[in-house]
Amino acid sequence: MVKLSVIVPFYNVQAYAPDTLRSLRANAREDFEFLLVDDCSTDGTAGLLRRAQDGVPGVTVLRHERNAGLAAARNTGLDAARGEYIAFLDGDDWLAPGHYARLLDRTEALGCAFVRTDHVQVTGTSRTVRRVPHGLRGVVGDPRDAILPADRTTSVDYAFAWAGLYHRDLLDRGLLHFTDGLRTAEDRPWIWRLHREAESFAVLGTLGHFYRRGVASSLTRIGDERQLDFVRAYDQVLSDTAADRDAEALMPKAVRTYCAVISHHVSSVGKFEPPVARALRTLAADALGRMPRRVLDDVLDSMDTERATVLRRLRRRAAATEGATAA
């Protein structure tokens, strides 16, 4: 029986994949499987993965015939997974030796549907511990309770899919798949769904995942139209939240988070190509126009002046466009 399935998408990470693969070898166990998904890499990544089939126990390589993005690559792995538990790893990150065995032991001892873990962020030679924004460690609770309060950073803002372990029941219930086609922010509707629908979770201070920042090929550093998929991702968060039984309580958190992300992108508009920057402003203004008016008013009144000013300016743009269309 396969105890753990680890899903690892790769796309053009030839420089970093050797570290990832060595760390998988240092985490191998006879009841673990490693599903390496090559998302149609065009560099030497595919060759490294083929060689890993002989050098790393439990490896299966799956290959896309066309580049489909991180969400689709993870879904390919999920469709092939046989394990009782599921984990994710990105192709440019790495693990401490024995990390998965320790994490699995603690998760099984707790008996909850999923756990979230702290991680080490690596930027060049700098390493910083990043913690799940949840005070209790090693205590099983209701994940729905960890969504709020609206005006603080909470567990749904720590959306890294690889920072945790997930029981197969969640996969069988359709809670672990990502929205196909989302090329960024794919983890946002995913983490909200987990916290709304799963019955139990816990946070562990287990450090063993090393998250590499500043990678040149990372989508967060590329200012093309793929970045704009955050609008579709957060539209899904709002739509799903509006249909929830606790919609009135949860919607301020969803709107506030969406607003914060819009403000961040618009304030960093210089990193985008000019046509993408124009599209960003239009999409952001339209998104504000779709938000519940009363909730948005309250959110803007509670935000700091700098961000609220950016958002109110966009909101006026949306209102002006709507008025011109009506005329």
Q: How far apart are CA 14 and CA 25, in angstroms?
A: 17
* pLDDT tens digits, one per residue of 235-283: 999 999 999 999 999 999 999 999 999 999 999 988 888 999 999 999 9
Strands across the sheet containing 32-38: 59-63, 32-38, 4-10, 85-88, 164-167, 114-117, 201-204
In this predicted structure, the answer to whether residue 37 has a pLDDT above a threshold of 50 is yes
86 strand-pairing partners:
5, 166
Strands 32-38 and 4-10: parallel
Residue 253 to residues 17, 146, 248: CA-CA distances in angstroms? 37, 11, 10
CA-based end-to-end distance of the chain: 66
The reported pLDDT for the residue numbered 81 is 98
Q: CB under 8 Å to 193, separation ≥6 — which residues?
A: 175, 240
Q: How far apart are CA 169 and CA 198, in angstroms?
A: 10
Paired tokens of 137:
């460690």
* pLDDT tens digits, one per residue of 164-185: 999 999 999 999 999 999 999 9
The domains of the chain are located at: 4-218, 222-326
Q: How far apart are CA 5 and CA 268, in angstroms?
A: 38
The reported pLDDT for the residue numbered 271 is 86
* Mean pLDDT across the chain: 94
For the domain bounded by 4-218, which CATH number is listed? 3.90.550.10
The reported pLDDT for the residue numbered 83 is 98
